[in-house]
Structure 1
């Protein structure tokens, strides 16, 4: 399958800087919900 989608470049950004090359930390959380009540994040 081939998919083509156009996009617009607003400005060029040099991503070869130490700040942007450093690994980024993040969290992934999922929330389970059942109609009218919700639980907290699932570990």
Structure 2
């Protein structure tokens, strides 16, 4: 659980370093979640 609690901070730091806007990454994140769900249900 501790690793998950650090994820938002790591993502924010990554955004600051790369200069990406949150709005640009949201569709990517949603796509990744969709792929994860698809992979999980496809086993």
Larger helix proportion of the pair: 2
Same-fold status (TM-score > 0.5): no
When the two structures are superposed, what TM-score results if normalisation uses the length of structure 1?
0.22
When the two structures are superposed, what TM-score results if normalisation uses the length of structure 2?
0.22
Relative contact order higher in (CA < 8 Å, ≥ 6 apart): 1
Larger strand proportion of the pair: 1
Instruction: Mark the structure with the bigger radius of gyration.
Output: 1
